[in-house]
Amino acid sequence: AQSVSQHNHHVILSEAASLELGCNYSYGGTVNLFWYVQYPGQHLQLLLKYFSGDPLVKGIKGFEAEFIKSKFSFNLRKPSVQWSDTAEYFCAVNGLGTYKYIFGTGTRLKVLA
Partner 1 sequence: DAGVIQSPRHEVTEMGQEVTLRCKPISGHNSLFWYRQTMMRGLELLIYFNNNVPIDDSGMPEDRFSAKMPNASFSTLKIQPSEPRDSAVYFCASSLFVDSPEGYTFGSGTRLTVV
State in angstroms the smallest separation of the CB of 24 from partner 1. 16
State in angstroms the smallest separation of the CB of 41 from partner 1. 9
| Opening angle at CA 62, ends 48 and 92, nearest 5 | 25
Query: Position 31: which residue type?
Result: V
**Per CB under 8 A, does 3 bind partner 1?**
no
| Binding residues among 48-67 for partner 1 as defined by CB under 8 A | 49, 51-52
Give the x/- contact pattern for partner 1 in 71-110, rule: CB under 8 A.
-------------------x-x-xxxxxxxx-x-xx----
Q: Based on the number of CB atoms within 10 Å of its own CB, is 104 exposed (0-12), middle (13-18) or buried (19 or more)?
A: buried
Among 44, 62, 64, 86, binds partner 1 (CB under 8 A): 44
User: Measured from the CB atom, is 17 or 44 closer to partner 1?
Assistant: 44
Q: Using CA atoms, how far apart are residues 96 and 22, in angstroms rounded to an integer? A: 22
Instruction: Kindly give the pairing relationship between strand 3-5 and strand 24-26.
Output: antiparallel
Q: Using CA atoms, how far apart are residues 101 and 68, in angstroms rounded to an integer? A: 19
Q: Give the interface with partner 1 as residue ranges (CB under 8 A).
A: 32, 34, 36, 42-46, 49, 51-52, 90, 92, 94-101, 103, 105-106
